[in-house]
Amino acid sequence: MENQHIRKAGLKVTLPRVKVLEILQGDSSLHMTAEDVYKRLIENGEEIGLATVYRVLTQFEAAGLVEKHHFEGNVSVFELNRGAHHDHIVCTDCGRVEEFVDDVIEDRQRAIARERGFAIKGHSLIIFGECERPECPHRRES
């Protein structure tokens, strides 16, 4: 029961919060905008307002249940926090997102912050490229 997660965050277990969490858990692309979540709720026949989706996602983020990223443009995307930190590589054509972790990069970032007298709080690393998936619009002919 992930409802415990909601409760532990000090939030009442309400229908919108449970449903939003379910949507995020069932999301294979791993990264959705607030609008995406809202649309899927509507598809599922739920009567939940967009404003509530924003409020719930913001609360989840504050509680550490969810992470918010800015991949491009002026839209925020949300993903379930599955515990392990990772960065992202995004296909500039099909929008597909993969996650990765690189200890060398992590170490270098810490070193750079230290050298420059910054107490590191976090970072955002996104690699943009074109993937080779068959469904990617820019797939080269083979």
* Contacts to DNA by CB under 7 A: 7, 11-17, 33-35, 47-52, 54-56, 58, 74-76
The answer to whether the CB of 124 falls within 8 A of the CB of 69 is yes
Cβ distance 32 to 78 under 8 Å? yes
Residue 114 CB, nearest distance to DNA (Å)?
Answer: 32
Instruction: Give the angle 92-93-98 at the CA atoms, nearest 5°.
Output: 60
CA distance 34 to 69: 12
Of 8-16, 33-41, 56-64, 120-128, the segment contacting a copy of itself by CB under 8 A is: 120-128
What region, left, alpha or beta, does residue 27 occupy, with left being phi > 0 and alpha being psi -120 to 50 degrees? beta
Binding-site size, a copy of itself (CB under 8 A): 33
Task: Based on the shown chain and the rule CB under 8 A, indicate whether residue 142 belongs to the binding site for a copy of itself.
Answer: no
Q: Is 127 in the site for a copy of itself (CB under 8 A)?
A: yes
Q: Which stretch binds a copy of itself (CB under 8 A): 15-23, 36-44, 47-55, 129-137?
A: 129-137
Which amino acid, 113? A
Residues that bind a copy of itself (CB under 8 A): 70, 72, 74, 76, 89, 91-92, 98, 100, 102, 104-105, 108-109, 112-113, 116-132
